[in-house]
Amino acid sequence: MLTIHPENTPVGALHSYLLSAVAPRPIAFASTMDKEGNPNLSPFSFFNVFSANPPILIFSPARRVRGNTTKHTFENVKDTKEVVINVVNYNMVHQVSLASTEYGKGVNEFEKAGFTMLPSEVVKPFRVAESPVQMECKVNQIIELGKAGGAGNLIICEVLRMHIDTAVLDENKAIDQRKLDLVARAGGSFYSRAKTTFFEIPKPLQSKGIGVDALPKKIRSSTVLTGNDLGMLANVEALPKPMVVDKFIKDNPQYLSLKTNEKHKFAQEFLQKNDVKSAWKVLLSS
Protein backbone atom coordinates (compact mmCIF):
# COMPACT_ATOMS: atom_id res chain seq x y z
CA MET A 1 0.00 0.00 0.00
CA LEU A 2 1.22 3.48 -0.87
CA THR A 3 1.40 5.65 2.25
CA ILE A 4 1.36 9.40 1.81
CA HIS A 5 3.01 11.72 4.32
CA PRO A 6 1.50 15.18 3.64
CA GLU A 7 4.45 17.00 5.16
CA ASN A 8 6.83 15.29 2.71
CA THR A 9 4.60 15.38 -0.38
CA PRO A 10 4.54 18.23 -2.95
CA VAL A 11 1.30 20.18 -2.67
CA GLY A 12 0.37 19.53 -6.29
CA ALA A 13 0.69 15.77 -5.85
CA LEU A 14 -1.17 15.79 -2.53
CA HIS A 15 -3.94 17.89 -4.11
CA SER A 16 -4.30 15.33 -6.91
CA TYR A 17 -4.45 12.38 -4.50
CA LEU A 18 -7.09 14.09 -2.33
CA LEU A 19 -9.34 15.02 -5.25
CA SER A 20 -9.16 11.51 -6.68
CA ALA A 21 -9.74 9.84 -3.32
CA VAL A 22 -12.57 12.07 -2.08
CA ALA A 23 -15.03 11.68 -4.93
CA PRO A 24 -17.54 12.23 -6.32
CA ARG A 25 -18.00 15.73 -4.93
CA PRO A 26 -21.04 17.98 -5.51
CA ILE A 27 -20.46 21.16 -7.49
CA ALA A 28 -21.26 24.66 -6.29
CA PHE A 29 -21.65 26.87 -9.35
CA ALA A 30 -21.04 30.15 -7.53
CA SER A 31 -22.30 33.45 -8.91
CA THR A 32 -20.82 36.58 -7.34
CA MET A 33 -20.43 40.27 -8.11
CA ASP A 34 -17.49 42.56 -7.49
CA LYS A 35 -17.65 46.03 -5.92
CA GLU A 36 -18.06 47.61 -9.37
CA GLY A 37 -21.06 45.41 -10.19
CA ASN A 38 -19.27 43.02 -12.60
CA PRO A 39 -20.72 39.48 -12.50
CA ASN A 40 -18.52 36.43 -11.98
CA LEU A 41 -19.33 32.75 -12.31
CA SER A 42 -17.18 29.78 -11.32
CA PRO A 43 -17.60 26.12 -10.20
CA PHE A 44 -16.18 24.69 -6.97
CA SER A 45 -16.20 21.07 -5.85
CA PHE A 46 -15.08 21.72 -2.28
CA PHE A 47 -18.76 22.10 -1.37
CA ASN A 48 -21.62 20.66 0.65
CA VAL A 49 -24.65 21.41 2.85
CA PHE A 50 -23.94 21.51 6.59
CA SER A 51 -27.11 22.64 8.31
CA ALA A 52 -30.87 22.93 7.73
CA ASN A 53 -31.70 25.22 10.67
CA PRO A 54 -30.26 27.65 9.83
CA PRO A 55 -29.80 26.46 6.20
CA ILE A 56 -26.03 26.55 5.72
CA LEU A 57 -23.87 25.75 2.70
CA ILE A 58 -20.08 25.83 2.73
CA PHE A 59 -17.79 25.99 -0.30
CA SER A 60 -14.10 26.68 -0.57
CA PRO A 61 -12.37 28.66 -3.34
CA ALA A 62 -8.86 27.50 -2.45
CA ARG A 63 -5.71 29.47 -3.13
CA ARG A 64 -4.10 28.37 -6.39
CA VAL A 65 -1.32 25.82 -5.90
CA ARG A 66 0.68 27.46 -8.69
CA GLY A 67 1.35 31.11 -7.95
CA ASN A 68 -0.50 31.16 -4.61
CA THR A 69 -3.06 33.65 -5.92
CA THR A 70 -6.70 33.94 -4.88
CA LYS A 71 -9.75 33.52 -7.10
CA HIS A 72 -12.15 36.27 -8.11
CA THR A 73 -14.99 34.48 -6.31
CA PHE A 74 -13.09 34.63 -3.02
CA GLU A 75 -12.27 38.31 -3.48
CA ASN A 76 -15.89 39.12 -4.36
CA VAL A 77 -17.48 37.38 -1.37
CA LYS A 78 -15.02 39.12 0.94
CA ASP A 79 -16.10 42.47 -0.48
CA THR A 80 -19.85 41.96 -0.91
CA LYS A 81 -20.80 39.09 1.49
CA GLU A 82 -23.27 37.71 -1.08
CA VAL A 83 -23.32 34.67 -3.41
CA VAL A 84 -25.75 32.52 -5.38
CA ILE A 85 -25.07 28.78 -5.35
CA ASN A 86 -26.45 27.07 -8.47
CA VAL A 87 -26.49 23.28 -8.75
CA VAL A 88 -25.09 21.58 -11.85
CA ASN A 89 -26.92 18.93 -13.86
CA TYR A 90 -25.83 16.93 -16.88
CA ASN A 91 -27.47 19.26 -19.44
CA MET A 92 -25.15 22.13 -18.51
CA VAL A 93 -21.91 20.45 -17.42
CA HIS A 94 -19.83 21.26 -20.52
CA GLN A 95 -20.75 24.93 -20.19
CA VAL A 96 -19.87 24.81 -16.48
CA SER A 97 -16.50 23.32 -17.35
CA LEU A 98 -15.92 26.18 -19.78
CA ALA A 99 -16.76 28.70 -17.04
CA SER A 100 -13.92 27.26 -14.93
CA THR A 101 -11.41 28.78 -17.37
CA GLU A 102 -9.17 31.35 -15.73
CA TYR A 103 -10.55 34.39 -17.55
CA GLY A 104 -9.28 37.82 -16.54
CA LYS A 105 -10.88 39.99 -13.88
CA GLY A 106 -14.05 41.66 -15.13
CA VAL A 107 -14.73 39.05 -17.83
CA ASN A 108 -18.35 37.88 -17.67
CA GLU A 109 -18.35 34.07 -17.50
CA PHE A 110 -22.13 34.07 -18.02
CA GLU A 111 -21.45 35.31 -21.54
CA LYS A 112 -18.35 33.20 -22.12
CA ALA A 113 -20.13 29.99 -21.13
CA GLY A 114 -23.47 30.92 -22.72
CA PHE A 115 -25.56 31.08 -19.54
CA THR A 116 -28.56 33.33 -18.88
CA MET A 117 -28.32 35.92 -16.07
CA LEU A 118 -31.48 35.76 -13.96
CA PRO A 119 -32.01 38.56 -11.39
CA SER A 120 -32.08 37.41 -7.77
CA GLU A 121 -34.73 38.47 -5.27
CA VAL A 122 -32.69 39.42 -2.20
CA VAL A 123 -29.01 39.48 -3.25
CA LYS A 124 -27.18 41.30 -6.05
CA PRO A 125 -25.42 38.38 -7.84
CA PHE A 126 -27.39 36.85 -10.70
CA ARG A 127 -28.80 33.35 -10.71
CA VAL A 128 -28.04 30.90 -13.53
CA ALA A 129 -31.38 30.45 -15.29
CA GLU A 130 -30.33 27.05 -16.70
CA SER A 131 -29.64 25.58 -13.25
CA PRO A 132 -32.55 23.52 -11.83
CA VAL A 133 -31.89 24.72 -8.25
CA GLN A 134 -30.58 28.17 -7.33
CA MET A 135 -29.88 29.34 -3.76
CA GLU A 136 -29.48 33.01 -2.88
CA CYS A 137 -27.14 33.31 0.09
CA LYS A 138 -25.60 35.81 2.45
CA VAL A 139 -22.05 35.09 3.63
CA ASN A 140 -22.04 34.68 7.41
CA GLN A 141 -18.36 33.89 7.88
CA ILE A 142 -15.12 33.34 5.98
CA ILE A 143 -12.46 31.09 7.47
CA GLU A 144 -9.04 31.25 5.82
CA LEU A 145 -7.26 27.94 6.45
CA GLY A 146 -3.81 29.15 5.44
CA LYS A 147 -1.78 31.58 3.37
CA ALA A 148 0.19 29.13 1.21
CA GLY A 149 -0.79 27.77 -2.21
CA GLY A 150 -3.52 25.12 -1.92
CA ALA A 151 -4.96 26.52 1.30
CA GLY A 152 -8.75 26.52 1.46
CA ASN A 153 -11.05 29.41 2.31
CA LEU A 154 -14.32 28.26 3.86
CA ILE A 155 -17.22 30.44 2.75
CA ILE A 156 -20.07 29.81 5.20
CA CYS A 157 -23.31 30.82 3.49
CA GLU A 158 -26.84 31.08 4.81
CA VAL A 159 -29.58 30.32 2.29
CA LEU A 160 -32.10 33.18 2.07
CA ARG A 161 -34.05 31.97 -0.98
CA MET A 162 -34.16 28.60 -2.75
CA HIS A 163 -35.59 28.39 -6.28
CA ILE A 164 -36.44 24.95 -7.72
CA ASP A 165 -37.50 24.19 -11.29
CA THR A 166 -40.86 22.40 -11.07
CA ALA A 167 -39.72 20.10 -13.89
CA VAL A 168 -37.49 18.23 -11.40
CA LEU A 169 -40.25 17.71 -8.82
CA ASP A 170 -42.40 14.60 -8.37
CA GLU A 171 -46.14 14.48 -7.63
CA ASN A 172 -45.43 15.24 -3.95
CA LYS A 173 -43.35 18.33 -4.81
CA ALA A 174 -40.19 16.57 -3.68
CA ILE A 175 -37.06 16.65 -5.83
CA ASP A 176 -36.79 13.59 -8.07
CA GLN A 177 -33.08 12.76 -8.24
CA ARG A 178 -33.50 11.10 -11.64
CA LYS A 179 -35.09 14.23 -13.07
CA LEU A 180 -32.54 16.47 -11.37
CA ASP A 181 -29.73 14.48 -13.01
CA LEU A 182 -26.89 16.07 -11.03
CA VAL A 183 -23.23 15.63 -11.86
CA ALA A 184 -20.26 15.59 -9.50
CA ARG A 185 -16.49 16.00 -9.75
CA ALA A 186 -13.90 13.30 -9.30
CA GLY A 187 -10.14 13.35 -9.85
CA GLY A 188 -8.44 14.66 -12.99
CA SER A 189 -10.87 15.23 -15.85
CA PHE A 190 -13.50 12.82 -14.53
CA TYR A 191 -17.06 13.57 -13.54
CA SER A 192 -19.87 11.29 -12.41
CA ARG A 193 -23.52 11.42 -13.36
CA ALA A 194 -26.07 10.59 -10.68
CA LYS A 195 -28.14 8.27 -12.85
CA THR A 196 -25.41 6.62 -14.88
CA THR A 197 -21.67 6.48 -14.28
CA PHE A 198 -18.41 8.35 -14.82
CA PHE A 199 -17.67 10.34 -17.95
CA GLU A 200 -14.82 12.64 -18.95
CA ILE A 201 -14.61 16.28 -20.02
CA PRO A 202 -11.33 17.94 -21.04
CA LYS A 203 -10.38 20.58 -18.50
CA PRO A 204 -10.10 24.11 -20.02
CA LEU A 205 -7.19 25.15 -17.81
CA GLN A 206 -4.19 25.06 -20.13
CA SER A 207 -5.71 27.49 -22.63
CA LYS A 208 -8.69 29.84 -22.78
CA GLY A 209 -11.73 28.71 -24.74
CA ILE A 210 -13.08 31.31 -27.16
CA GLY A 211 -16.42 31.30 -25.30
CA VAL A 212 -20.00 30.89 -26.47
CA ASP A 213 -20.22 34.66 -27.03
CA ALA A 214 -17.54 34.33 -29.73
CA LEU A 215 -19.42 31.66 -31.72
CA PRO A 216 -20.98 32.73 -35.05
CA LYS A 217 -24.58 33.85 -34.52
CA LYS A 218 -25.91 31.09 -36.81
CA ILE A 219 -24.34 28.49 -34.50
CA ARG A 220 -25.25 30.27 -31.25
CA SER A 221 -28.92 30.44 -32.24
CA SER A 222 -29.09 26.88 -33.61
CA THR A 223 -32.31 24.95 -33.00
CA VAL A 224 -30.32 21.70 -33.19
CA LEU A 225 -27.22 22.27 -31.07
CA THR A 226 -27.73 22.04 -27.28
CA GLY A 227 -26.08 24.05 -24.51
CA ASN A 228 -23.61 21.20 -24.00
CA ASP A 229 -22.84 21.23 -27.73
CA LEU A 230 -22.15 24.97 -27.64
CA GLY A 231 -20.00 24.53 -24.55
CA MET A 232 -17.86 21.95 -26.34
CA LEU A 233 -17.56 24.09 -29.48
CA ALA A 234 -16.63 27.15 -27.42
CA ASN A 235 -13.95 25.31 -25.47
CA VAL A 236 -11.36 25.64 -28.25
CA GLU A 237 -8.52 28.13 -28.33
CA ALA A 238 -9.09 29.00 -31.99
CA LEU A 239 -11.21 27.95 -34.95
CA PRO A 240 -9.74 25.61 -37.59
CA LYS A 241 -7.83 27.47 -40.29
CA PRO A 242 -9.52 27.76 -43.73
CA MET A 243 -6.94 25.49 -45.37
CA VAL A 244 -7.69 22.76 -42.81
CA VAL A 245 -11.43 23.09 -43.44
CA ASP A 246 -10.87 23.04 -47.22
CA LYS A 247 -8.87 19.80 -47.00
CA PHE A 248 -11.59 18.22 -44.85
CA ILE A 249 -14.28 19.19 -47.36
CA LYS A 250 -12.18 17.94 -50.27
CA ASP A 251 -12.06 14.55 -48.56
CA ASN A 252 -15.74 14.76 -47.51
CA PRO A 253 -17.60 16.65 -50.28
CA GLN A 254 -21.00 15.36 -49.07
CA TYR A 255 -21.13 18.13 -46.45
CA LEU A 256 -21.06 20.95 -49.02
CA SER A 257 -24.65 20.57 -50.20
CA LEU A 258 -26.20 20.31 -46.73
CA LYS A 259 -28.62 22.88 -45.33
CA THR A 260 -27.75 24.61 -42.05
CA ASN A 261 -29.79 22.32 -39.76
CA GLU A 262 -28.40 19.25 -41.50
CA LYS A 263 -24.85 20.48 -40.95
CA HIS A 264 -25.67 21.09 -37.29
CA LYS A 265 -26.98 17.52 -36.93
CA PHE A 266 -23.82 16.04 -38.44
CA ALA A 267 -21.70 18.30 -36.25
CA GLN A 268 -23.68 17.12 -33.22
CA GLU A 269 -22.89 13.51 -34.11
CA PHE A 270 -19.19 14.33 -34.11
CA LEU A 271 -19.55 16.09 -30.74
CA GLN A 272 -21.21 13.01 -29.26
CA LYS A 273 -17.99 11.17 -30.17
CA ASN A 274 -15.91 14.00 -28.57
CA ASP A 275 -14.57 14.88 -32.03
CA VAL A 276 -14.79 18.66 -31.70
CA LYS A 277 -12.37 19.35 -34.56
CA SER A 278 -14.48 17.51 -37.12
CA ALA A 279 -17.63 19.17 -35.79
CA TRP A 280 -16.08 22.57 -36.43
CA LYS A 281 -14.96 21.60 -39.92
CA VAL A 282 -18.51 20.57 -40.82
CA LEU A 283 -19.96 23.77 -39.39
CA LEU A 284 -17.45 25.96 -41.24
CA SER A 285 -17.82 24.21 -44.58
CA SER A 286 -19.23 26.36 -47.37
275 and 167 in one domain? Answer: no
241 and 166 in one domain? Answer: no
How many domains is the chain built from? 2
pLDDT at 144: 96
Over residues 267-275, mean pLDDT: 94
Tell whether the model's pLDDT for residue 45 goes beyond 80.
yes
Taking the C-alpha atoms of residue 27 and residue 163, their distance in angstroms, rounded to an integer, is 17
- Written as one letter, the residue type at 119 is P
Over residues 90-114, mean pLDDT: 95
Per-residue model confidence as pLDDT tens digits over 8-28 = 999 999 989 999 999 999 999
Domain end position, chosen among 200, 230, 251: 200
Tell whether the model's pLDDT for residue 194 goes beyond 90.
no
Within a domain: residue 146?
Answer: yes
Least confident window among 116-125, 249-258, 265-274: 249-258
Taking the C-alpha atoms of residue 247 and residue 12, their distance in angstroms, rounded to an integer, is 42
Taking the C-alpha atoms of residue 184 and residue 88, their distance in angstroms, rounded to an integer, is 8
Over residues 158-178, mean pLDDT: 96
Over residues 159-184, mean pLDDT: 95
Across the chain, mean pLDDT equals 93
Tell whether the model's pLDDT for residue 87 goes beyond 80.
yes
Least confident window among 127-131, 212-216, 251-255: 251-255
Domain end position, chosen among 200, 233, 249: 200
pTM: 0.85
Of 280, 251, 261, 28, whose CA–CA distance to 156 is shortest? 28
pLDDT at 198: 65
State which residues form the domain around 232.
212-283
190 and 75 in one domain? Answer: yes
pLDDT at 228: 94
